[in-house]
C-alpha cells in the first residue's frame, strides 16, 4: 500500500510543528510526524560535518540547499513505521515544490493526499516567536528565534507562498486551517480533516 503523505506548511510561529506532533501522538498507531526543522536540528546536534553545514543556514534563517532537504524528507518517508506521514515545513520554496512533484511522479509508493496551510497573521507569528525566545531556558534557545532572523524567515516563507498555494489549489490539494484559534480547537479541526482522508 502506498504511504499517504500530508504536508503541513505555515509561517514561523504558526504552530505547525506543535499541531502535527499532537495529532501523531494521539494516533500513534497510524500516523507519524516529522518536522523538517527538527530533523535538521537533530543532524546539527549530532556534530557531523553535514550538521555544521546545516547550522550555517539555520542560524541565518536561510533555507538549507535543495539536495539536503529532499534527502531528509525522502528518507523520513521511506523509513516511516506506519502508512500515514505528516511532514511539516516542506515545501518552503517553488524549487522544493517542483522537486517533490517530480519525485512523486516517479514513485508510486507515496501518495500526496493534502497540503495543509496553518494560517496566521504576521503579527501573531511574531508575538509567538518572540514569546518562545523569551521563555526558552538557558541552553535551549533556538539560534534563529530573534527578531532580526524572524523577519528573514518570514520573508522567505511569504515570497513563494502564493505560487505554492496556486499550485496545490489547482491540484485540489490545498486545505487552509485557521491557526489563530486555541491549540485545542486547531488540533481537533486538523485531526478530523486528516482522519477523513486516511
Note the residues at the interface with ligand AMP (CB under 6 A).
12, 36-37, 40, 57-58, 61-64, 69, 89-90, 92, 96, 144, 153
Q: Check: CB of residue 156 under 8 Å from CB of residue 63.
A: yes
147 or 198: CB nearest ligand AMP: 147
Cβ distance to ligand AMP smaller for residue 29 or 135: 135
Residue nearest to ligand AMP (CB): 37
Give min distance, CB of 166 to ligand AMP, in A.
19
Nearer to ligand AMP, 31 or 54 (CB): 54
Closest distance of CB 146 from ligand AMP, Å: 12
Q: What are phi and psi of 162, to 5 degrees?
A: -65, -35
Closest of 113, 89, 122 to residue 175, by C-alpha: 113
Q: What backbone phi and psi angles, to 5 degrees, belong to 112?
A: -80, 115
Least separation in angstroms between CB 147 and ligand AMP: 15
- Taking the C-alpha atoms of residue 190 and residue 116, their distance in angstroms, rounded to an integer, is 8
- Taking the least distance from each CB to ligand AMP, the nearer of 9 and 194 is 9
Which residues, 6 or more positions from 40, have their beta carbon under 8 angstroms from its beta carbon?
54, 58, 64, 68, 69, 72
Q: To the nearest whole angstrom, how small is the minimum distance from the Cβ of residue 90 to ligand AMP?
A: 4
Amino acid at each position: 500500500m502506498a504511504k499517504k503523505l500530508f504536508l503541513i506548511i505555515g509561517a514561523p510561529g504558526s504552530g505547525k510543528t506543535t499541531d502535527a506532533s499532537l495529532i501523531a501522538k494521539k494516533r500513534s498507531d497510524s500516523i507519524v510526524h516529522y518536522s523538517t526543522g527538527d530533523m535538521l536540528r537533530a543532524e546539527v546536534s549530532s556534530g557531523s560535518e553535514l550538521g555544521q553545514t546545516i547550522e550555517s543556514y539555520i542560524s541565518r534563517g536561510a533555507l538549507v540547499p535543495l539536495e539536503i532537504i529532499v534527502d531528509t524528507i525522502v528518507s523520513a518517508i521511506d523509513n516511516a513505521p506506519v502508512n500515514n506521514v505528516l511532514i511539516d515545513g516542506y515545501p518552503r520554496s517553488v524549487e522544493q515544490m517542483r522537486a517533490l512533484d517530480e519525485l512523486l511522479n516517479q514513485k508510486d509508493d507515496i501518495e500526496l493526499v493534502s497540503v495543509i496551510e496553518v494560517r496566521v497573521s504576521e503579527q501573531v507569528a511574531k508575538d509567538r516567536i518572540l514569546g518562545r525566545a523569551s521563555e526558552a531556558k538557558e541552553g535551549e534557545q533556538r539560534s534563529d528565534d530573534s527578531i532580526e532572523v524572524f523577519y528573514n524567515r518570514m520573508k522567505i516563507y511569504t515570497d513563494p507562498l502564493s505560487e505554492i498555494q496556486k499550485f496545490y489549489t489547482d491540484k485540489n490539494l490545498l486545505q487552509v486551517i485557521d491557526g489563530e484559534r486555541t491549540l485545542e480547537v486547531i488540533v481537533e479541526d486538523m485531526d478530523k480533516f486528516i482522519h477523513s482522508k486516511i
